[in-house]
Amino acid sequence: MSSLYKQLRHSLRPLREKYELFLGRYIPKRLHTIHYRQAYGKDLDWKHPKTIDEKISWMVFNYDTTIWTELADKYKVRQYVTDRGLDDILVPLYGKWDNASDIDWNALPQQFVIKTNHGSGDLLVCRDKNTLDKTYWTNKIDKWMHTDYSRIMGEPHYSHIKRCIIAEQLLDATKQCVPSSSLIDYKVWAFDGKPAYIWCCLNRTAESVEVITFDTEWNAHPEFSEFYYHYIPSEKRLPRPQTLDQMLDAAACLSKGHPQVRVDFYEVDGKLYFGEMTFTSSSGINGFYTEEFRLMLGHLTKLPIDNP
């Protein structure tokens, strides 16, 4: 029976995915409710949100998220960072195009990164342009451009982003504080100008990523994490970043006026780089944190409906 049940679930998966895409486009609030119940085995409290997940979902549908569209845009956010006097932490930009067929491959250096401004994890990391299959990547990037990520997890503010393609400098992952197969993400949770915690991700692969959470004094808090097959404990003790103070100052500046936002950074060869701003971290399902920590982050997120 168990085997038959698994076969049935597998056969119904395409239908379920189509149903969720339909909800993501037309009834995204319903999709949030379903995903929350699937993740936590209980209903999302829309009237009295308490955890960071509940408050993120509440804001998606009950808050003015107009600015989220601009700041989730990986191209437009560069102007926001510049306007706040932080242009020195932007990754150098090589080019911007509206269509994959417009990419000027000849104008790009030997190494670079290409991504769409509305994407989620889709990335071309080119280490040697001479070996790059440009036809293959043009077609793949065109597919990214036609993917509506807003429907996948029910995040309407992404649907308003005018899509484009950007090429940036490839940051050297070998010039970091500890060896890592990928760039180390320093994801700073900040609340209306007040950074609180830094979630670090390193040695990222398609199968897993090593994670650890720090407070702003760089004390490690593994007890805040729920580890499983994808999110695993970091095998390395990350040293305090050389640019931690600058990182926290930048997160404070960029998060001012926003009840909650995750501001991502990199540190390469002792220099700080801005990554992105995320208002719907993990689409409001941060199941890699304990419930206690999700409540802590929720307490730091001040909403208009919260009791004084």
pLDDT tens track for 201-226: 999 998 999 999 999 999 999 999 99
φ, ψ dihedrals at 61, nearest 5°: -115, -5
Q: CB atoms < 10 A from the CB of 106, how many? A: 7
**Predicted local confidence at residue 13, as pLDDT:** 58
Pairs from 204-207 (Cβ < 8 Å, separation ≥ 24):
205/181
Q: Which pTM does this prediction carry?
A: 0.91
One digit per residue, the tens of pLDDT, for the chain of length 308 reads 445 444 444 554 566 667 566 666 667 888 888 889 999 999 999 999 999 999 999 999 999 999 999 999 999 999 999 999 999 999 999 999 999 999 999 999 999 999 999 988 889 999 999 999 999 999 999 999 998 877 777 788 888 999 999 999 999 999 999 999 999 999 999 999 999 999 999 999 989 999 999 999 999 999 999 998 899 998 778 999 999 999 999 999 999 999 999 999 999 999 999 999 999 999 899 999 999 999 999 999 999 988 76
Can you give the residue ranges of every domain in the chain? 11-62, 92-170
Dump pLDDT digits (tens) for 81-119. 999 999 999 999 999 999 999 999 999 999 999 999 998
